[in-house]
A and B are shown apart, each in its own frame.
Chain A
Amino acid sequence: MKLLDALSLAQQAPSGAAPFRALLACGFTPLHLQTFLAGHLQLRLPAQRVEIQTGLFGDLAGALAGIARGGCDAAAVVIEWADLDARLGLRSLGGWRPSMLPDIVRAVRERLDHLRASLDATGGRLPIAVAMPTLPLPPIATTAAWHASSFELELRAAVADFSVEVAMLPLVRIVSGQELDRLSAPSKRLDVRSELDAGHPYTLAHAEATAGLLALLLAPSPTKKGLIVDLDGTLWRGIVGDDGPGGVRWDLDGHAQTHGLLQQVVRSLADQGVLVAIASKNERAVVEEALARSDLLVDPAQIFPIEAHWGPKSESVRRILTAWNIGADSVVFIDDSPMELAEVRAAFPDVECLRFSGDPGDVGAAAALLERLRALFGRDTLTAEDTLRVASLRGAADAEREGTLTSPETFLQGLEAVLDVDLHKLPPDPRALELVNKTNQWNLNGRRETEADWRVRLDDADTFVLVASYRDKYGPLGKIAVMRGRRRGRALAIDTWVMSCRAFARRIEHRCVEQLFQRFDADEIVFDYAPTDRNAPLREHLAALLGDAPHPGLRLARSRFLSICPPLYHTASEAQERP
């Protein structure tokens, strides 16, 4: 992004849009860093109007205190050496004598302790992105530039210790030094003239790169949920139908190491809850034999479904999307064949199609693909639900098969379903907000929330949140539904209602509504409903409850609900304390 683009983007915010207020806390004149941060955030949040607040020059601690005072949706904290001790900057003449070095190390450690306490005081109220010192140290140590002094190493150790501790604070994310090194060469970051002239030490390119990474941490893209992988030439080297299940390779000796590395990444993604499926033009029996090899780095139990046949790959993708019940825009497809990628892309333009190059002469491309997969599936934290996903999908497939053999009522009756309801608001459950921001089909109004907004709402005494967890004889689904609202006398005003598509067709939605009526002894529930392009399943449910097409502000009386609620076979319980 060029400076002109950043300035122009800041002017493109839609009029009347909700503001996104970001605090930029840094000790230097924010100047271009502020402009680029505004530009990058505006690019990532086109429906909002980005506003950047800044602190006073040279007062990083004061700016950090501003985070605790509130009033912003997110904060970017940029720490440079001069913020830790002014003698480490070019604008101070406090002395670079060797005798001062121990005192500088001590001062830096003290300063970092103070900054850590300030960040701790924010209490996870809003997302905070932190950039650790990015500029070169001045020539203060007694060693030559190519000789790392104990002074420099101590400073870097202090910063590393600080980073590790701060990264564990809720909602605090640290800018990756490795990624910043890739985007902005360390030798091209410091603009001495700008630092001395204006107190802004960054070159334009470095300000742009730093701001871009801060924006990614403060307004992350939705992560992908599912990965569909081809086999021959992709997950392994060779043609399994020709070479046989024992003849395909993914090791160094077989000049196929990049295939093994891909398998390692796929396994890691599956472990973190990414759905993994196979789309291969092969005989199914041959594929199953190859997947049973003991040296395979992927766990076949984590792959569901396996589409192995001679039909078009797009047909496989269609079946996999149906089995997963997620949108095409949440899915990545990898194949070594440009033709197969083009065929899938034509049928599913929203699926991200990536080519895997198994060419031993082009291993760089394969390594870049692995990085790309990490970027697309990167997650802050892993929850218990992430590891349940594949098992619950298999369970759903089993249940569906059984459901076709018995009547729906008998099927539901025999599920041995248990619904656990948790009404504790604090500490905020990250899974609840994740569901709100990821769910489309069962979403009351499609509104997304920032972590800061969510936290503010939970602090409101009249606001309640219901988080429902479900399990049955086919296995646990984990936390699958969230309802949030406020009490208004004997009415409840619900502004958030989401439910995972994995939980459909089990009457969980009825049980949740029933629980609210009972728990709050309410006579009526008012839903802040709004139609979206994708919430048809919820719309149909509400229409059935009301006996009419749903509309914004629709009201459901308790008597009406009880008169039409079908039999509910779950055992329901309310958590007495946060599990």
Chain B
Amino acid sequence: MTDAHAHLVKCFAAVFPRLSPEEIPRANINSVSAWDSLATLTLTSLIEDEFGVSIDPRDREELVSFELILAYLRSDKGVS
């Protein structure tokens, strides 16, 4: 598991405390009932704060799963 992966798991656990560590890597907006628009705002703000990046609001709509967010951080933001 990379640093970015572990760090993102931490962020997800803080925003969605009911998800188990095993569920988090598979989490997506359809599988997590608590993932509403407010949770999206909290999650993206948290990721910006934790990873020191800025997420364009237009990108936010695409970031609908753990996997997509991790890929976005790695490819678009250069997080390793």
Contacts and interface: CB of A to CB of B under 8 A. Distances in A.
Contact of A7 (B15, B38, B41, B57): B15
Given A32-B45, A198-B41, A4 B57 contact: no
Interface string A192-216: 0110011010001000000000000
B14 to A, nearest CB: 4
A31 B46 CA distance: 12
B20 interface: no
B41 A31 contact: yes
B17 A11 contact: yes
A3 B57 contact: no
Chain A binding surface SS class: helix
Interface residues of A, number: 16
Nearest to B49: A3
Contact of A35 (B11, B17, B42, B57): B42
A31 B43 CA distance: 11
8 contacts: A4-B10, A8-B14, A11-B14, A32-B45, A194-B45, A197-B41, A204-B45, A204-B49
B36 interface: no
Query: Interface residues of B toward A: which range?
Result: 10 to 19
Interface of B: 10-11, 14-15, 17, 38, 41-42, 45-46, 49-50, 57
A5 to B, nearest CB: 9
Contacts of B17: 11
Given A4-B11, A11-B17, A193-B57, A31 B49 contact: no
Nearest to A204: B49
Chain B binding surface SS class: helix
B49 A7 contact: no
Contacts of A4: 10-11, 14, 46, 49-50
Contacts of B49: 2-4, 204
Contacts of A204: 45, 49
Contacts of A3: 42, 45-46, 49-50
Contacts of A32: 42, 45
A197 to B, nearest CB: 5
A75 to B, nearest CB: 21
A197 B42 CA distance: 13
B15 to A, nearest CB: 6
A42 to B, nearest CB: 13
Interface in A135-160: none
A3 B46 CA distance: 6
A11 B18 CA distance: 10
Contacts of B11: 4
B14 A7 contact: yes
A507 to B, nearest CB: 55
Nearest to A205: B49
